[in-house]
């Protein structure tokens, strides 16, 4: 908003002062609206001023100064009909010297408007939707000054508060725009975690509710906005300075844009000017935002729309600071059946949510192997990623049908769609029940090979999945999850208790504890791992690299694990090993703790089995050197894929570019599998690849006999194993490796179908 001269400032202020006293007065809603149109007409010197409000999908003339009073509550326009409908539908202001020249103009004789030539109208907005229109008309054809339009827009903003406080608009039709939506919209995205859910939209960072629009003390409001700007800029600086460990999982580029906007003088000046016109700090921020939104809509440039998103985020951040409404939806408490909507989430942020209420997640970004996805998979929460602009199409509390199995989301569904969806959910439940029945059946192939099927875990709650799935143990326990859910660094005694609980819950089944794998996309808010800013955190100071440098961290964990496993076998696995010496150093940390505890007469584990993750391709070149050192090796296909393809696993643009069934991955794993077999190293797979029946089938075909996968995949993968002739699969994979088909996935799927392999 640009209020350029004192005259227009005075006009805007006069309107707001007038509106404030009307709002404070005791009249009924209709009387107040009549006073509003009078006040505005007088302040801007307009011959006509009218208010149309949206009721049941129709814009009804509610009050007018200058048109015939008989038309009030009689003149009605459909959403999109006439100039009024145009403004509401497009949420766009109009300023016309000659109203009839606009293609959408429609003459309504009952109003007596034929003598008025010029027309200016602005939308009355609530939750980014038009709920009415405020307009002015003049006999003489003349265009209104930009400043006058802006005064109308400011007045419309205050009016939105007035009509909502007086119950003049029905909130239902705003919160639930079914009135003008046929309930068949669909948004598509990328399947990150399978599943279906019906629930209500909840924004991770909720929109701030503006309680008061007209200021009582302009200087105080100015002060509030200044200090909010200072705080916001400090936050953004802090995030940019340690981008790789930023709390919100935001990406570098976003942070840079944030920074640019945060320091944009034009933005803060416009907010300041809006405060000058008499608005509160919150209303001024929102007012400027509304204005920017309108302009962006007119420009209609996808690149700018992206930037608009960033500005929206930032304005919302500023609003949250100024209003003190700081929490994310997790801290504000969730309703039942929540479907969370966010641009992106960090793993720790997701863990803050009450999983009993959280039914699904929709992200504008997101990728298959980002840790937030892995955690959601562990929690059994479906995620649809890469849903472009979802935060524009979906509003808080919208009913959503989320069908990640088919990569779609239906906002505000019709009744018939809901029925169809429920039928689908029933079918899924039946399938799930059938998988549950496999729990006590062995994962044996048709030709008699017993496959070891373990689960990946990391949360206390995951332990129950061992008995629910009938898995052989835990092949990957991501110990960093405990660090991610904590507000401060977990103590040794806290870790000890936790590992003891885990081992106790596992009973006789083995648990492979992976030492903390933090850094990369798993930053700990309370721990700064690297003093330098990293360009490529995934390839930077993470996992074992941190552990070996900050050996206090690793010592504490080693001691806790050794003590917890007293009297039983302890399986320890080190992440991100690239060279043998890293393994040796990590093992030495454990051995030293073992000696220490031994010297103090503590009961020790029967044995420690040491393993490494193969996720850095370099390690594959040193397998012969590792053979005598290792008790076992586990391929982490998530990181391995990112390093083999040089494709950041959390970059949404790369999420679909490379396939796990591509010749490079298959050949790599096939070669490693053969070599470790000859070297006598026990090999398993613990990346997400093993959790998909078709991909798991390919792995078995490459000679893999042990899989550790997400619990929800045990049923489908076991069903696949029990329907597979392993010898035939090995032959098929052998021929695919020698002569890769153009589309390995399609070829393998066809093969599986023609060989009656159950792919779920």
Give, as ranges, the residues between 72 and 111 that touch ligand PEP (CB under 6 A). Answer: none
Count CB neighbours of 39 within 10 A.
21
Closest CA to 377 of 78, 21, 687, 151: 687
Listed ranges 141-149, 354-362, 466-474, 630-638: which one lies at the site for ligand PEP (CB under 6 A): 630-638
Burial class (CB in 10 A: 0-12, 13-18, 19+), 479: buried
Q: How far is the CB of 8 from ligand PEP (least distance, A)?
A: 58
Cβ-closest position to Mg ion = 639
The listed partner (ligand PEP, Mg ion, none) that binds 637, CB under 5 to 8 Å by sort, is ligand PEP
Closest CA to 517 of 476, 549, 547: 547
- Residue 221 binds to Mg ion (criterion: CB under 5 A): no
Q: What is the spatial distance between Cα 290 and Cα 296, in angstroms, rounded to a whole number?
A: 10
Site track 607-626 with ligand PEP (rule: CB under 6 A), x = hit:
--------x-----------
Give, as ranges, the residues between 299 and 318 that touch ligand PEP (CB under 6 A). Answer: none
- Residue 686 binds to ligand PEP (criterion: CB under 6 A): yes
**Comparison of 200 and 498: residue with beta carbon closer to ligand PEP:** 498
Q: What is the spatial distance between Cα 77 and Cα 317, in angstroms, rounded to a whole number?
A: 37
Listed ranges 271-279, 348-356, 449-457, 638-646: which one lies at the site for Mg ion (CB under 5 A): 638-646
**Comparison of 18 and 537: residue with beta carbon closer to ligand PEP:** 537
Q: Is 577 helix (H, G, I), strand (E, B) or coil?
A: coil
The listed partner (Mg ion, ligand PEP, none) that binds 162, CB under 5 to 8 Å by sort, is none
- Residue 132 binds to Mg ion (criterion: CB under 5 A): no
**Comparison of 490 and 520: residue with beta carbon closer to ligand PEP:** 520
Q: What is the spatial distance between Cα 293 and Cα 315, in angstroms, rounded to a whole number?
A: 12
Site track 18-37 with Mg ion (rule: CB under 5 A), x = hit:
--------------------
3-state secondary structure 171-231: HHHHHCHHHHCCCCCCEECEEEECCEEEEEEEECCCCCCCCCCECCCHHHHHHHHHHHHHH
Whether residue 33 contacts residue 63, with contact meaning beta carbons closer than 8 Å, is answered with: yes
Residue located via tokens 């227009």: 8
- Choosing from 11, 638, 710, 713, the residue that interacts with ligand PEP (CB under 6 A) is 638
| Phi, psi (degrees; rounded to nearest 5) at 89 | -65, -45
> Sheet holding 94-96: strands in order across?
76-78, 58-65, 48-55, 129-138, 118-126, 94-96
Angle, in degrees to the nearest 10, between helices 551-564 and 492-506: 40
- Residue 636 binds to Mg ion (criterion: CB under 5 A): yes
| Phi, psi (degrees; rounded to nearest 5) at 198 | -115, 130
**Comparison of 412 and 649: residue with beta carbon closer to Mg ion:** 649
- Residue 648 binds to ligand PEP (criterion: CB under 6 A): no
**Comparison of 177 and 636: residue with beta carbon closer to Mg ion:** 636
The listed partner (Mg ion, ligand PEP, none) that binds 309, CB under 5 to 8 Å by sort, is none
Instruction: Give 485's contacts (C-beta < 8 A, 6+ positions apart).
Output: 348, 351, 352, 459
Cβ-closest position to ligand PEP = 636
Q: How far is the CB of 514 from Mg ion (least distance, A)?
A: 9
**Comparison of 313 and 639: residue with beta carbon closer to Mg ion:** 639
Whether residue 358 contacts residue 200, with contact meaning beta carbons closer than 8 Å, is answered with: no
**Comparison of 221 and 615: residue with beta carbon closer to ligand PEP:** 615
- Choosing from 374, 404, 564, 676, the residue that interacts with ligand PEP (CB under 6 A) is 374
**Comparison of 144 and 481: residue with beta carbon closer to ligand PEP:** 481
Angle, in degrees to the nearest 10, between helices 281-299 and 146-165: 120
Q: How far is the CB of 615 from Mg ion (least distance, A)?
A: 5
| Phi, psi (degrees; rounded to nearest 5) at 738 | -70, -45
Closest CA to 82 of 66, 58, 62, 48: 58
Size of the site for ligand PEP (CB under 6 A): 11
**Comparison of 402 and 457: residue with beta carbon closer to ligand PEP:** 457
Listed ranges 348-356, 551-559, 629-637, 735-743: which one lies at the site for Mg ion (CB under 5 A): 629-637
Whether residue 675 contacts residue 626, with contact meaning beta carbons closer than 8 Å, is answered with: no
DSSP-derived letter for residue 463 is G
**Comparison of 131 and 612: residue with beta carbon closer to Mg ion:** 612
**Comparison of 637 and 713: residue with beta carbon closer to ligand PEP:** 637
**Comparison of 334 and 577: residue with beta carbon closer to Mg ion:** 577
- Residue 687 binds to ligand PEP (criterion: CB under 6 A): yes
The listed partner (ligand PEP, Mg ion, none) that binds 11, CB under 5 to 8 Å by sort, is none
| Phi, psi (degrees; rounded to nearest 5) at 474 | -115, 115
- Bin 343: left if φ > 0, else alpha if -120 < ψ < 50, else beta: alpha
Q: Report residue 406 as tokens.
A: 């088919």
Listed ranges 79-87, 534-542, 621-629, 636-644: which one lies at the site for ligand PEP (CB under 6 A): 636-644
Q: Report residue 221 as tokens.
A: 């409001």
- Residue 639 binds to Mg ion (criterion: CB under 5 A): yes
**Comparison of 475 and 636: residue with beta carbon closer to Mg ion:** 636
The listed partner (Mg ion, ligand PEP, none) that binds 374, CB under 5 to 8 Å by sort, is ligand PEP
The listed partner (Mg ion, ligand PEP, none) that binds 686, CB under 5 to 8 Å by sort, is ligand PEP
Q: What is the spatial distance between Cα 580 and Cα 507, in angstroms, rounded to a whole number?
A: 33
The listed partner (ligand PEP, Mg ion, none) that binds 257, CB under 5 to 8 Å by sort, is none
- Choosing from 517, 563, 648, 695, the residue that interacts with ligand PEP (CB under 6 A) is 517
The listed partner (Mg ion, ligand PEP, none) that binds 201, CB under 5 to 8 Å by sort, is none
- Choosing from 523, 636, 670, 691, the residue that interacts with ligand PEP (CB under 6 A) is 636
- Residue 454 binds to ligand PEP (criterion: CB under 6 A): no
Long-range contacts from 690-693, C-beta under 8 angstroms, 24+ separation: 690/637, 690/717, 691/377, 691/717, 692/660, 692/717, 693/717, 693/719, 693/720, 693/757, 693/758, 693/759, 693/760
Count CB neighbours of 594 within 10 A.
18
Q: How far is the CB of 529 from ligand PEP (least distance, A)?
A: 15
* Residues engaged in binding Mg ion (CB under 5 A): 615, 636, 639
* Residues engaged in binding ligand PEP (CB under 6 A): 374, 476, 478, 517, 615, 636-639, 686-687
């Amino acid at each position: 908003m640009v209020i350029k001269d004192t005259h227009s400032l005075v006009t805007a202020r006069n309107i707001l002062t007038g509106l404030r006293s009307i709002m404070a007065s005791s009249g009924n809603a209709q009387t107040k609206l009549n006073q509003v149109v009078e006040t505005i007409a007088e302040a801007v010197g307009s011959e006509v001023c009218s208010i149309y409000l949206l009721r049941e999908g129709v814009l009804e003339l509610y009050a007018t100064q200058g048109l015939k009073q008989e038309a009030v509550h009689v003149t009605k326009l459909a959403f999109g009909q006439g100039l009024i409908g145009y403004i509401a539908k497009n949420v766009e202001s109009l300023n016309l010297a000659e109203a009839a020249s606009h293609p959408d103009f429609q003459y309504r004789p009952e109003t007596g408007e034929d003598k008025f030539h010029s027309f200016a109208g602005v939308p009355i907005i609530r939750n980014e939707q038009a709920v009415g229109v405020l307009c002015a008309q003049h006999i003489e054809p003349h265009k209104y000054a930009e400043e006058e339009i802006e005064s109308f827009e400011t007045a419309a903003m205050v009016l939105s508060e007035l009509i909502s406080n007086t119950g003049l608009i029905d909130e239902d039709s705003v919160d639930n725009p079914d009135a003008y939506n046929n309930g068949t919209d669909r948004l598509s995205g990328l399947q990150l975690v399978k599943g279906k859910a019906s629930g209500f939209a909840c924004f991770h960072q909720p929109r701030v509710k503006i309680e008061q629009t007209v200021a009582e003390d302009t200087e105080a409001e100015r002060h509030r906005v200044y200090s909010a700007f200072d705080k916001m800029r400090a936050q953004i600086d802090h995030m940019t300075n340690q981008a790789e460990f930023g709390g919100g999982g935001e990406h570098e580029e976003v942070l840079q844009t944030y920074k640019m906007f945060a320091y944009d003088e034009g933005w803060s000046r416009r907010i300041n000017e809006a405060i000058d016109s008499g608005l509160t700090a919150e209303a001024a921020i929102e007012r400027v935002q509304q204005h920017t939104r309108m302009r962006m809509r007119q420009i209609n440039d996808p690149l700018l729309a992206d930037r608009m998103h960033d500005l929206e985020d930032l304005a919302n951040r500023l609003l949250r600071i100024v209003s003190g409404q700081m929490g994310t939806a997790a801290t504000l408490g969730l309703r039942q059946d929540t479907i969370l909507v966010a641009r992106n989430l960090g793993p720790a942020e997701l863990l803050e949510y009450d999983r009993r209420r959280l039914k699904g997640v929709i992200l504008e970004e997101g990728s298959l192997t980002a840790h937030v996805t892995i955690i959601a998979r562990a929690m059994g929460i479906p995620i649809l990623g890469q849903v472009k602009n979802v935060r524009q199409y979906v509003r808080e509390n919208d009913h959503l049908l989320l069908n990640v199995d088919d990569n779609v989301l239906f906002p505000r569904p019709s009744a018939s769609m809901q029925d169809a969806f429920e039928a689908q959910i029933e079918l899924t439940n039946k399938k799930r029940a059938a998988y549950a029945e496999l729990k006590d059946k062995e994962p044996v192939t048709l030709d008699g090979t017993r496959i070891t099927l373990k689960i990946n875990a990391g949360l206390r709650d995951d332990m129950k999945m061992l008995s629910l799935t009938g898995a052989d143990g835990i092949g990957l326990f991501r110990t960093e999850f405990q660090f991610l859910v904590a507000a401060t660094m977990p103590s040794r005694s806290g870790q000890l208790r936790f590992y003891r609980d885990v081992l106790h819950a596992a009973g006789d089944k083995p648990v492979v504890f992976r030492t903390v794998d933090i850094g990369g996309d798993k930053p700990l808010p309370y721990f700064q791992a690297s003093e330098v800013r990293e360009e490529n955190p995934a390839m930077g100071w993470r996992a074992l690299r941190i552990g070996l440098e900050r050996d206090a961290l690793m010592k504490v964990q080693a001691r806790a694990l050794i003590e917890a496993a007293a009297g039983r076998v302890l399986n320890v696995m080190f992440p991100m090993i690239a060279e043998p010496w890293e393994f040796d150093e990590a093992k030495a940390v454990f051995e030293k703790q073992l000696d220490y505890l031994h010297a103090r007469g503590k009961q020790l584990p029967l044995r420690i089995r040491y393993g490494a993750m193969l996720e850095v391709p370099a390690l594959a070149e040193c397998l012969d050197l590792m053979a005598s050192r290792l008790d076992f090796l586990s391929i982490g296909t998530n990181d391995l894929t990112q390093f083999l393809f040089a494709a950041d696993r959390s970059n949404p643009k790369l999420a679909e570019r490379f396939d796990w069934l591509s010749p490079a991955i298959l050949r790599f794993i096939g070669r490693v599998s053969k070599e470790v077999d000859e070297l006598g190293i026990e090999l398993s797979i613990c990346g997400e690849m093993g959790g998909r029946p078709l991909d798991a089938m390919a792995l078995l075909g490459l000679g893999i006999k042990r899989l550790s996968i997400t619990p929800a995949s045990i049923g489908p993968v076991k069903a696949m194993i029990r329907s597979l002739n392993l010898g035939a699969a090995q032959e098929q994979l052998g021929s695919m490796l020698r002569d890769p088909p153009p589309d390995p996935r399609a070829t393998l799927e066809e093969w599986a179908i023609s060989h009656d392999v159950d792919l779920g």
